[in-house]
Amino acid sequence: MNDIKKLGGELLEHLRHYRNLGVRLAARTTAASGKGSDARNAGAQHLPAGPAHRNPAVTIPRTSLFDEQASVSEDLEKIRADLGDCQRCKLAPTRTNIVFGAGNPHAELMFVGEAPGADEDEQGLPFVGRAGQLLTKIIQAIDMRREDVYICNILKCRPPQNRNPEADEIATCQPFLFRQIAAVRPRVICALGTFGAQTLLRTKEPITRLRGHFIDFYGAKFMATFHPAYLLRNPNEKRKVWEDVQKIRDYLRSFGK
């Protein structure tokens, strides 16, 4: 009973987040059906955070708490406009540029990283430094281009000295991230590193236990893997990432494209 009350409290908290952002809430859950109800069209609507779970094999429901028509009408440009010259958290005074995201707005594959670094903060684009160059090579290795995918981060502003994201900063940026996912509606979401995976899955499990498994995530497939910056420090782990992205490649190819 306590677990049910806790989950209900978390869902209400996220509903308030979206109501404050102007998202119209549905009175009932909406399951994907009819024409176009494959993994992409049944995919992320306006997503609340998934329930906390202990096992990477746990399935997150394919339904949404948010009205389907409200999410369909929203695009990335509107979300960026709503973000504006964001002053919502303590990172605003120290950033140079907001790093919103970049790539194909209708991508089948979406990468979610941790936070911008120095190069990203300077250019206003995600993954353009050394880690970004490695990510580009990873994308190319599965026969895709950067312009084919969509790339963003949990945080839209660089933490000072590239420190880890803090809980209040994640909570502030999180609604915009979920709206990005809902707008893109990817077939696969690939979380790069601990903070990307833990934030989306609402879990404290380490990346070593989360990676390598497909998880059903509101109609999309979710895969966690190591962050490219981690691979620069630990090149012996590249093989594991290669195994992970091969699974993504093979899954996308199964749709015959």
- Residue given tokens 């406009």 in the structure block: 81
Residue 134 has pLDDT above 70, yes or no: yes
Three-class SS of residue 30?
Answer: strand
pLDDT, one tens digit per residue, over 37-74 is: 344 443 334 454 444 444 544 445 444 433 343 444 58
Number of domains in the chain: 1
Give me Rg for the CA atoms of the chain.
17
- The answer to whether 220 and 248 are in contact (CB under 8 A) is no
Task: Decide if 169 contacts 117 (C-beta within 8 A).
Answer: no
Specify the 3-state DSSP secondary structure of 134: helix
pLDDT bracket for residue 218 (50, 70, 90): confident
Q: Which domain holds residue 183?
A: 2-253
Take residue 198 and report the two structure tokens written for it: 């833990």
Residue 168 in this model has a pLDDT that exceeds 50: yes
The pLDDT value given to residue 28: 33
Q: What integer pLDDT is reported at residue 1 of this predicted model?
A: 52
pLDDT of residue 257: 57
Least confident piece of the model among 15-24, 91-100, 103-112, 134-143: 15-24
Q: Quick one: pLDDT band at residue 2, thresholds 50, 70, 90?
A: low
Q: What pLDDT does residue 73 have? A: 58
Beta strands 150-153 and 109-113: pairing type?
parallel
Mean pLDDT of the region 2-30: 43
Reference 97, options 118, 66, 73; nearest CA is 118
* 224: helix, strand or coil: strand
pLDDT 10s digits, 170-213? 999 999 999 999 999 999 999 999 999 999 999 999 999 999 99
pLDDT attached to residue 74 = 85
Segment 112-128 mean pLDDT: 98
Q: CB–CB of 184/152 below 8 Å?
A: no
DSSP 8-state symbol, 58: P
Closest CA to 114 of 226, 245, 248: 226
Local confidence band at 162 (pLDDT 50, 70, 90 cut-offs): very high
- In which band, very low, low, confident or very high, does the pLDDT at 100 lie, cut at 50, 70 and 90? very high
DSSP code at position 165 = P
pLDDT score at 221: 96
Can you give the CATH number for the domain in which 177 is found? 3.40.470.10
| Structural contact between residues 221 and 200, judged by C-beta atoms closer than 8 angstroms | no
Whats the size of the chain, residue-wise?
A: 257
The helix or strand, by DSSP H or E, that contains position 151, with its residue range, turns out to be strand 150-153
- CA-to-CA distance for 228 and 132, rounded, in angstroms? 7
- What is the share, in percent, of the chain residues with pLDDT greater than 70? 71
Rounded CA-CA distance 102/70 in Å is: 23
Backbone angles phi, psi at 38, to 5 degrees: -80, -175
